[in-house]
Structure 1
Amino acid sequence: MNLPFSGYYYLTEEGKNEFRKAGLNLLYNEKQEAYFYISQIDFSFLFGLAKNFYLKKVVLLSSALLENRTEWSHLVRDLTYILFDKEVKEETDRVFSQYGFNASKISKEEIESFSMNYQETREEFKKMLLFDTYTIVEDSKEIKDKDEKKKVLSDFIESISEKHWYFLYVSARTEEKISIMEEMYQKLVKLLYIVNIADYLALLIMELAQNAEKAHYEWIAKNEFQQMEQTESFIRQKENRQKIKEKIEEKEIYLEISILWEQIDDKHKLKISILNKGKIQEEKQEEVKNKIEVRTERKPLADLFHNPDQELGAGLGLFYISYIKEECEKQFLEFSSFIEMKEEEVEVSFEITL
């Protein structure tokens, strides 16, 4: 899907090497980071780069977020899936390794013979692993988009290599088979619940986008159109919003969404930030900081985000980030959120670490 957002793509060393092999020219900033610029974002292209871990950061520029906020939220959800999937795969590799798995000791001929003669056995192993997790998906009221969640689980199982299945069926002793299957089941359950957290993060990015755009448009209305009063009613008018968008593009005063991937030792981190023009009144700043850490009653996250009584003004809204943090803690994930208030800008960030 092509969307009218421009963006800067910053590459990892692996990504840089792949682009060089393809003969593509890259740009370099003062930090000698390799990057390229695209005037129109293709989300499938962005997703493909992220899935292959060719990206370390992308900065997306837009004059409007709400028109495509569903796509934004899906992008955040899918990028989070990538992070979770990679982490659980590495954990699965560690499970096999502790029972003596060594891919280099399994020959190509052994794999070909196994694939030809034991396909039904391998499929039975897959069904056994998926059966109980599918039951959790069906029975849980908390889990939405059930078919989609089943596909995530199925895709994960399908990504397990033939050498792993060979080791499980041929090399592992009976008691080791049982232990490996039990531990793999636990990894699937973990994947299921942390993927559910990705849905919460997608809701959060929708809220962030809505409030960032409102604050940004109010700032443009005041500073470019001298609408010092009744700015909210001004930006609600369709023709005025179009004028604001044109002014943003003319002066390149874009809303920015940045997505950063990091690996520190054995931990993976995803950080997402939204930067908009505008500022929070001084008397509201402490309130914003305090309410970010407020613990909330147990209720559906969507209800919390869309409570009309929870409004802080200045376009930031009230983020029930502590709710998501509690869900992450249950799965031993680290979740942090930040607000940086500059003189004429507000940047809201959240990061999740596995």
Structure 2
Amino acid sequence: MSAPAKIEGKDPFVHLPASIIFTPRGLEMVGASPALKKVTSRDGLPKEGLQSDSYNAQTIQKLVMKSCIEEIYVALPDLLRKRFEIISTNNLIVYGVLYKKLTPSLARTLFESSVVKEYNRKNPKNSIVDLNHISPQKVEQLQKTSPELIEGIKSNLRTLITERILGATNLNEEDQHARVRSLPRFLDRVDPRIWFVYYVISHTGFKSAMERTFASMIYSYLHHTQIATHLSNLLMEFIQNAEKAHFERLIVRHGLADKGAVDYFLRDAENRRKVTALAQKTSQMLELSWTMNPERNTIGQQYRILISISNYGIIDERVSQSLARKMKTNTDGISLASFYGNDEEDGKLGAGLGLLYNSYLEDICRQEGIQYRCNIYPEPKREKTTVRIDMTL
């Protein structure tokens, strides 16, 4: 993929070996690229896509925003050493969807606001009721002749919203910093037609009201950034525990240490390298995938993200039978709370922090009206366990 100019001091590439599978729309966009080839999806099916040790973050995010990517699939002998790259990938996907939904969300809220309704009531001949009714020529003219006006509007809004974020006592420091960092990027992705509406209405006696309304809209939309933060925390907690189960299986099966001595064995860096090499040699890979298939998984303005983490781990007969009983009554998998409902299963797949981060996400998604599920899919015959995080933004 072609790369944009490198930002000084910042690597534009995410160094995570992955298969990137395209949607039909994505295949039309990349055309007959020589890099395009058959790659294996998470389900083991041959698909059209790219395979690379790294990818350009901005390019992939733009493709996500254009619904051109169906899946990003990673299969490695270990994943924790790629923590930064995994979090970067997760964030660019979630933020890509949030950027994509930004304009329709702002437009809907803006045209339903009292300030726009009042403007339309007082200016019936020049009423503004839909973005599609705005002249592209007028928008382009404003951008060309008065770019400093739009930048001034953005600057004022940045100041107002930043002050509000930092003064919000209900936000922890991590969430405050995430929102302040994200604010300029969200403002830069606002549709020019919306800035045109802002400019027109604010120059007809509604400036203060328009500024307050728009600042509140952006501030509210930034609540969604909590999703990326807590989702990354939850994802890495599952990966950490999946990797431990993955290594434990290899260590015990190959006689490197007894089950009770696995933790001690893995504290040695050289031992970890040996187990990682063994996983590579025996093709025992940890799997991580993000699926975003708009043809199958998207309805209207909703965008579904399915994240899967799979590992080959030791499942004893007692736990296997317990999971099988639960699966009979829940064909969609086993909820996190159900899986950790018994003390005997405590400690598997990161019960403590996993449940905590999952609880955060459930609360946030419930407040924002976002569909969210996190289930566990055991496969005892293959000694494989999959955690699936399913979110519809």
TM over 0.5: yes
Distance 1:248 1:167, change over 3 A: same
Alignment-mate amino acid for residue 275 of structure 1:
S
Distance 1:182 1:313, change over 3 A: same
Matched residues in 2 for 1:9 and 1:115: separation?
36
Secondary structure of 1:264's aligned partner: coil
Unaligned runs of 5+ residues in structure 2 are 1-10, 113-127, 327-332
Residue of structure 2 equivalent to 1:312: 346
Secondary structure of 1:221's aligned partner: helix
Shift of the alpha carbon at 1:183?
Answer: 5.2
Matched, 1:267 2:302: yes
CA contact (8 A) 1:271 1:351 kept: yes
Residue of structure 2 equivalent to 1:133: 161
Which of the residues 245, 252, 256 maps onto 2:276? 245
What is the CA RMSD across the aligned residues, in angstroms? Answer: 3.6
Matched, 1:256 2:266: no
String of CA shifts for 1:216-262, please: whole Å, max 9, x gaps. Answer: 00011122346443233333332222121112111221101010114
Matched residues in 1 for 2:95 and 2:315: separation?
33
String of CA shifts for 1:250-293, please: whole Å, max 9, x gaps. Answer: 12211010101142232111121110111444359569967636
Residue of structure 2 equivalent to 1:292: 337
Distance 1:232 1:151, change over 3 A: closer
Secondary structure of 1:244's aligned partner: helix
Matched, 1:224 2:254: yes
Matched residues in 1 for 2:38 and 2:90: separation?
26
Fraction of identical pairs, as percent: 19
Residue of structure 1 equivalent to 2:7: none
Q: TM-score with structure 1 length normalisation?
A: 0.80
Shift of the alpha carbon at 1:132?
Answer: 3.3
Distance 1:203 1:32, change over 3 A: closer
Matched residues in 2 for 1:16 and 1:322: separation?
38
Shift of the alpha carbon at 1:15?
Answer: 1.2
Residue of structure 2 equivalent to 1:122: 150
Matched, 1:203 2:228: no
Aligned length in residues: 339
CA contact (8 A) 2:21 2:39 kept: no
Matched residues in 2 for 1:290 and 1:161: separation?
39
Matched residues in 1 for 2:165 and 2:284: separation?
44
Distance 1:256 1:139, change over 3 A: same
Matched residues in 1 for 2:278 and 2:167: separation?
51
Matched residues in 2 for 1:88 and 1:324: separation?
20
Secondary structure of 2:298's aligned partner: strand
Matched residues in 1 for 2:134 and 2:175: separation?
41
Residue of structure 2 equivalent to 1:144: 174
Distance 1:226 1:119, change over 3 A: closer
Distance 1:171 1:146, change over 3 A: closer
String of CA shifts for 1:130-165, please: whole Å, max 9, x gaps. Answer: 333212321234142755522422222222233332
Secondary structure of 2:303's aligned partner: strand
Matched residues in 2 for 1:266 and 1:116: separation?
31
Distance 1:91 1:289, change over 3 A: same
CA contact (8 A) 1:28 1:34 kept: yes
Q: TM-score with structure 2 length normalisation?
A: 0.73
Which of the residues 168, 186, 190 maps onto 1:160? 190
Matched residues in 2 for 1:116 and 1:48: separation?
24
- Between 12-21 and 127-136, the greater mean CA deviation after superposition: 127-136
CA contact (8 A) 2:65 2:99 kept: no
Residue of structure 2 equivalent to 1:325: 362
String of CA shifts for 1:86-126, please: whole Å, max 9, x gaps. Answer: 22222123346674234465143x33432344444433432
Alignment-mate amino acid for residue 96 of structure 2:
I
CA contact (8 A) 1:95 1:180 kept: no
Residue of structure 1 equivalent to 2:93: 79
Distance 1:91 1:65, change over 3 A: same
Which of the residues 234, 257, 261 maps onto 2:265? 234
Runs of 4+ in 1 over 6 A off after TM superposition: 28-32, 175-180
Residue of structure 1 equivalent to 2:391: 352
* 1:23-38 pair list within 5 angstroms: 23-27=34-38, 33-38=47-52
Matched residues in 1 for 2:390 and 2:24: separation?
23
Matched residues in 2 for 1:31 and 1:75: separation?
22
